[in-house]
Amino acid sequence: MTLQGVRGQFPILQQEVHGKPLVFLDSAASSQKPQVVIDALDAYYSEDNANIHRGVYVLSQRATQAYDDARLTVQRFLNAGDHREIVFTRGTTEGINLVARTWGDANLGPGDEILLTRMEHHSNIVPWQLLAERSGAVIQVVDIADDGSLRMDEFDRLLGPKTKIVGVTHVSNALGTINPIQRICTSAHDAGAIVVVDGAQAVPHSPVDVQALGCDFYVFSGHKVYGPTGIGALYGKLALLREMPPYEGGGDMIRSVRFEGTTFAPVPAKFEAGTPNIAGTIGLGAALEWVMDIGMEGIAAHEADLLAYGTEKLGAIERVRLIGTAPEKAGVLSFVIDRIHPHDIGTILDREGISVRTGHHCAQPVMERFRIPATTRASFGVYNTRADVDALVDGIHRVIEVLG
In this predicted structure, the answer to whether residue 404 has a pLDDT above a threshold of 90 is no
Average model confidence (pLDDT) across the chain: 97
Is 362 assigned a catalytic role? yes
Cα–Cα separations (whole angstroms), residue 350 to 23, 161, 392: 9, 50, 10
CATH 3.90.1150.10 is held by the domain 7-30+295-403: yes
Q: Is the pLDDT of residue 341 over 50?
A: yes
Please give the angle made by the CA atoms of 240, 242 and 244, to the nearest 5 degrees.
70
> 7-30+295-403 and 38-293 share one CATH topology?
no
CA 56 to chain centre: 36
Question: Going by C-beta distance under 8 Å and a sequence separation of 6 or more, which residues neighbour residue 346?
Answer: 356, 357, 358, 376
Q: Give pLDDT, residue 1.
A: 46
pLDDT at position 2 is: 55
Task: Report the alpha-carbon distance of residue 173 to residue 340 in Å, rounded.
Answer: 22
CB of 81 closer than 8 Å to CB of 230: no
- Domain boundaries defined on the chain: 7-30+295-403, 38-293
Per-residue model confidence (pLDDT) at position 18: 96
Side-chain half-sphere of 323: how many Cα atoms within 13 Å?
27
Give the pLDDT band (50/70/90) at residue 54: confident
**Fold classified for 38-293:** Aspartate Aminotransferase; domain 2 (3.40.640)
Residue 245 Cα distances to 128, 218, 248, 264, angstroms? 18, 18, 9, 9
User: Would you place residue 5 in the very low, low, confident or very high pLDDT band (cuts 50, 70, 90)?
Assistant: confident
- DSSP-derived secondary structure letter, 114: E
- Phi and psi torsions of 348, nearest 5°: -70, -40
From the candidates 141, 362, 372, 403, give the one annotated as an active-site residue: 362
- Contacts for 247-250: CB closer than 8 Å, 24+ residues apart: 247/98, 247/101, 247/102, 247/271, 247/273, 248/273, 248/274, 249/273, 250/274
SS3 track for 201-261: CCCCCCCCCHHHHCCCEEEEEHHHCCCCCCCEEEEECHHHHHHCCCCCCCCCCEEEEECCE
pLDDT digits (tens, 9 = 90+) for 116-172: 999 999 999 999 999 999 999 999 999 999 999 999 999 999 999 999 999 999 999
**Is the torsion defined by CA of 329, 222, 290, 355 positive or negative?**
negative
Length in residues, the chain: 404
Strand 163-169 and strand 138-142: pairing? Answer: unpaired
Residues 228, 30 contacting (CB under 8 angstroms): no
DSSP 365-379: HHHHHTT-S-EEEEE
Q: How far apart are CA 14 and CA 23, in angstroms?
A: 10
pTM of the model: 0.97
- pLDDT tens digits for 7-38? 999 999 999 999 999 999 999 999 999 999 99
- Strand spans (E) along 285-326: 320-322
The answer to whether residue 96 scores a pLDDT higher than 80 is: yes
> C-alpha distances in angstroms, 121 versus 48, 93, 208, 332, 369?
37, 10, 19, 15, 14
